[in-house]
Amino acid sequence: MIITRAQLNGFRSYEACEIAPCEGVNVLLGDNGQGKTNVLEALYLCCTGRSHRTRQDRDLIRWGADFARVEVDARRRDGSHRVEIVLPALGRRRLKIAGQEVSRSGELMGHVTGVLFSPEDLRTVKDGPAERRRFVDMALSQIKPAYYYALQRYNRALKQRGEALRAAAASPSMLATLDAWDEQLAAAGAELMAHRRAYVAQLSKTAAETHRDISDGREALEIRYLPCVSMGDDARSILDALFAAREDDVRRGVTSAGPHRDDVQILVEGRDVRAFGSQGQQRTAALAMRLSELEVMRDEIGEWPMLMLDDVMSELDPGRRRQLVGRLAGIQTFITCTDEDDLAGAEPGRAWRVENGALREL
């Protein structure tokens, strides 16, 4: 998949800008705070419907503007795809696919596909389970719309069950209302767990190979799915777990069991890299995970998604940088950096200077 054109209006620091990227390496060069990441953020938004930096649409709207708009044209093997997202300062966001307004947010998935690697990815390895769930959720949503819809159903039911729990705490006669939410959570939850288990297995297999390459064959990486409900992935097991936790849940006002509490464990040489890994090992594991996400996505969709590398070159040692650059053949790539030397031999097909929220092609 290749992005052939991207247009930003009122997005972050950009009043208006348009780029026509090349099929190979595209470089955004500029000092800090000039607007490089903002461009990648706009592209990522068109892949996932979300920013990687904020959950609030209003953060993406240029200060003082009425709306932000991003339009991306992509070319895939099956033809051309156009995605347009409008985020108004007031009211709901609007989504157009091929010029037609669509009402379900999941319809965005699978038109523009991409993987973003940024310095914050270290958090996937270092932080709590929520970051790793987000990794899996974003990756799976892009390749499996069914997963995205199951996730939506699950999150809605989870919210409703939370309200029902708090209502039941106030008046025990409300306890019966929990049954309906438990059923819905169990059904959607079982779908999520099945997809997650299969995806993590695929990711782990690919990541082991990738990691062996980028750590010069010295270390073994393994990624394991750690489901919160360990009796089984079927709806029955989740339902049982929800029921067993019901009394506690009413007291605490939150749902304690289910895939919203899942984790993914990342092991280097059999040890949890989160607790025992050096900074260097964690960084290499994070890179291996993103590169594997890219490969699994290619296997699933049958062509390479695009790759965005945000300020990551300067954080890698020369060996890892060369490894990374060596893998870019045939993949449309967007690289941001402050210094041309960071490119480590990657041949830019197109390059822009980013200054003060404006792009100038070099």
Ligand X SMILES: Nc1ncnc2c1ncn2[C@@H]1O[C@H](COP(=O)(O)OP(=O)(O)O)[C@@H](O)[C@H]1O
Candidates 33-41, 144-152, 283-291, 353-361; binding stretch for Mg ion (CB under 5 A): 33-41
Using CB under 6 A as the binding criterion, the count of chain residues that bind ligand X stands at 15
Residue 28 near residue 346, CB atoms below 8 Å: no
Binding mask 297-336 for ligand X (x = CB under 6 A): ----------------------------------------
Contact flag: residue 37 with Mg ion (CB under 5 A): yes
Which residues contact residue 121 at a Cβ distance below 8 angstroms, ignoring those fewer than 6 apart? 286, 287, 289, 290
Residue 262 near residue 199, CB atoms below 8 Å: no
Q: Which of residues 17, 25, 27, 36 is near ligand X by CB under 6 A?
A: 36
Binding mask 343-362 for ligand X (x = CB under 6 A): -----------x--------
Nearest CA-CA partner of 213 in 160, 292, 308: 292
- If you write DSSP's letter for every residue of 171-233 in order, what string do you get? -GGGGGGHHHHHHHHHHHHHHHHHHHHHHHHHHHHHHHHHHHHHTTT---EEEEEE-SS-S-S
Nearer to ligand X, 38 or 124 (CB): 38
Distance, CA of 122 to CA of 74 (rounded, Å): 29
Residue 50 near residue 38, CB atoms below 8 Å: no
Nearer to ligand X, 22 or 89 (CB): 89
Q: Which does 298 bind (CB under 5 to 8 A by kind): Mg ion, ligand X, none?
A: none
Candidates 60-68, 76-84, 87-95, 253-261; binding stretch for ligand X (CB under 6 A): 60-68
Contact flag: residue 13 with Mg ion (CB under 5 A): no
Q: How many other C-beta atoms can be found within 10 angstroms of the C-beta atom of residue 115?
A: 25
Q: Which of residues 50, 52, 62, 111 is near ligand X by CB under 6 A?
A: 62
Rg (CA), the chain: 22
DSSP state of 61: B
Nearer to ligand X, 85 or 158 (CB): 85
Nearer to ligand X, 12 or 144 (CB): 12
Q: Which of residues 1, 19, 35, 135 is near ligand X by CB under 6 A?
A: 35
Binding residues for ligand X restricted to 178-197, rule: CB under 6 A: none
Contact flag: residue 26 with ligand X (CB under 6 A): no
Q: Which of residues 7, 38, 204, 237 is near ligand X by CB under 6 A?
A: 38
Nearer to ligand X, 14 or 181 (CB): 14
Binding residues for ligand X restricted to 63-92, rule: CB under 6 A: 63
Candidates 18-26, 29-37, 83-91, 118-126; binding stretch for ligand X (CB under 6 A): 29-37
Residue 82 near residue 64, CB atoms below 8 Å: no
Q: Which does 30 bind (CB under 5 to 8 A by kind): ligand X, Mg ion, none?
A: ligand X
Nearest CA-CA partner of 280 in 229, 328, 216: 216
Burial 205-224 (b: 16+ CB within 10 A, else e): ebbbebbeebbeeebebbbe
Which residues of the chain form contacts with ligand X (CB under 6 A)?
12-13, 30, 32-38, 59, 61-63, 354
Which residues of the chain form contacts with Mg ion (CB under 5 A)?
37
